A and B are shown apart, each in its own frame.
Chain A
């Protein structure tokens, strides 16, 4: 393996200066089954970026030996809990961290079996990018399609198809192209904005961090280079001004007697001093007096910044309300259409059932008016006569809330378009929803 162009700089010495002040954060998700090399790939990224510490390494070596594994089992790095190690499977979302001088990465590592759809959905909800592993010998299989569908439904902006185990197909271009063609045919039926393909061998490290000399026909970047450079600052909505009020700051002190600040995290657009804004649902308009944090005046705030906004007028605004731009307001509806992923293992979604609903910083109650269809997540077929939506199922529903939600379609804004349903008896989060209209 040679180190020519496209090679990431993974030397930790580069932390010397204050260059870390210029690093970005990228969240990505990996989904895959036990034997497609996902754990090996993550182990490889951590290992080759020098993110594995000596004591972790020693612990893995020790465990590998005890388990009777022939080689160092990099998969043990990503197995957290006792029960998982015993069963040899990953049952939850595990978060991993590594960084290079360019970026810090958060990996949401999830198991790929159909019974773990809810974990994949959870990991996908905050991801900028998804890595889908495809075995070069097997090509696009049911599981690949399922993962791609979830990535598309959850609005992950970038998807990287890693065609793995290239070593087992002699690094042949034809094997790679066959998988690319298969995926392209399938992906016309779903909506993913940005798809990339990389031929890799996680086991031997080809095109993971270091460029492979065995795939001279491949001119694209290595996986690490792509992760370090893919453009993500436009992944958030910077057009439609949305500020869900989280908490009202009232110091009641002599110095700040009349101070009233609205605390929140910008969910869309850009807010700055002097902006004309409307407080919803009341509809009163006013002007932004300051955008600040910790007493420091900020020139502007955009997603995902947490700030405090003060207004020129004294309005009655509280948690669950939203500030928006006067000429660009969110939808306000009580009757809503949404896609839902069911997460409760005890009880399926109840038609006419009542749930607590959390959307941005607002909580309300809702009733399930209609189950429009259940989706076959392998074939993408809409099963209109099947309205049994149980654990790990995805479907389309119509619901009515006790008060209007201030929202945007999920395809426009992942923050203002998402919600969860909570079982009012158990308080468990049972459903993850994406608003359509």
Chain B
């Protein structure tokens, strides 16, 4: 008799173990829900972890006000279907109250303004653990992130002073005011995520599949026509057949030319892809260590 499970089941099993550890070790955890496929996957895994009980955490969305409409609708539907409480931290309001700065200029984004809004939302709701859908293969600074990532009372990550993680044992002990970011799908790659989504029939926003959209090109990135972006002279709109590989703000997330309109086609496309999925993220292109710098300040 051979006892084996496939790699997707093993990754699922690891993630469910971590999600259950969070329920057991923390008093007031939350799921950081970006609207992207990784956080949708996280919600799906959390549902499996606690069924037939409901997910014992609220969903927290840091809303930049620059999201794709489809994502917001999807978010509301998912929260309702799961019977989960939805908490929205508004970057817009944070900027209005002076807690965050609005960038100006043609390349302006609210990416950085998410950090104070996130930290403020964590503090106000007294969350002691926030589950996120970050993966180690996404970006080099994330390759060394722990499953249980300790944050000091300022929400900062100290890459040089991380707790060792051995076997299946996770240390979530903390002092008052400190909190943790928890990353149950650390070991998944983009391809794993898509294969699992296909295996489990997880529902996703339509933006992830090929569709026709009015777009223009800026610095080699295909951006969607949006009320939040001012086009420069020469940035002409054109209808293109595209899909998205990640879901961030409409102002910074680039689309890919693609005719993959089903999950199976997406899997084939991802398997053959020659660029990482964050390759089209303008926020990562600012400098070689852009992600590491943001993470230290308290980014996701």
Contact = CB atoms under 8 A, between A and B. Distances in A.
Nearest to B168: A415
Interface string A52-81: 011110010001000000000000000111
A284 interface: no
B143 A55 contact: no
A110 B50 CA distance: 35
Given A21-B8, A306-B16, A358-B169, A122 B164 contact: yes
Contact of B167 (A126, A234, A356): A126
A414 interface: yes
Contact of B53 (A82, A249, A432): A249
Interface in A17-61: 20-25, 53-56, 59
Contacts of A255: 52
Contact of B24 (A92, A233, A247, A359): A247
Interface in B185-207: 186-187, 189, 191-192, 195, 199
A92 B144 contact: yes
Interface stretch (A94-102, A132-140, A367-375): A94-102
A95 B136 contact: yes
B187 A265 contact: no
A10 interface: no
Interface in A401-427: 414-415, 418-420, 422, 427
Contacts of A22: 6
A133 to B, nearest CB: 21
A246 interface: yes
B227 interface: no
B16 to A, nearest CB: 4
A253 B3 CA distance: 35
Given A246-B20, A306-B16, A418 B275 contact: no
A330 interface: no
A106 interface: yes
Contacts of A247: 20, 23-24
A103 B137 CA distance: 17
A96 B166 contact: no
A305 interface: yes
Contacts of A25: 6-7, 10-11
B52 A427 contact: no
Given A55-B275, A92-B144, A94-B144, A238 B3 contact: yes
A20 to B, nearest CB: 5
Contact of A236 (B3, B12, B17, B21): B3
Given A15-B267, A249-B50, A97 B13 contact: no
A420 B53 contact: no
A374 B45 CA distance: 44
Contacts of A289: none
A83 interface: yes
B113 to A, nearest CB: 24
Given A91-B160, A95-B143, A233-B2, A53 B275 contact: yes
B3 A265 contact: no
A152 to B, nearest CB: 16
A429 B6 CA distance: 32
Contact of A265 (B11, B17, B162, B166): B17
Nearest to A269: B3
B52 A432 contact: no
Given A24-B7, A104-B192, A427-B174, A93 B273 contact: no
Interface string B1-37: 0111111111111101100110110000000000000
B162 A92 contact: yes
Contacts of B50: 249, 263
10 nearest A-B pairs in the assembled complex, by CB-CB distance: A25-B7, A233-B4, A294-B48, A427-B173, A251-B53, A15-B271, A125-B166, A306-B16, A54-B274, A104-B7
28 contacts: A22-B6, A24-B7, A55-B275, A55-B276, A55-B279, A80-B140, A81-B140, A92-B144, A92-B162, A95-B143, A97-B136, A97-B189, A99-B7, A104-B192, A106-B187, A118-B164, A126-B167, A236-B3, A249-B50, A251-B52, A259-B52, A263-B50, A293-B16, A304-B14, A305-B9, A418-B167, A427-B173, A427-B175
Given A23-B8, A25-B7, A263-B20, 18 more contacts: A12-B271, A23-B7, A24-B6, A25-B11, A92-B159, A94-B144, A104-B189, A104-B192, A118-B164, A125-B166, A247-B23, A253-B53, A256-B52, A270-B3, A293-B16, A302-B3, A319-B24, A356-B173
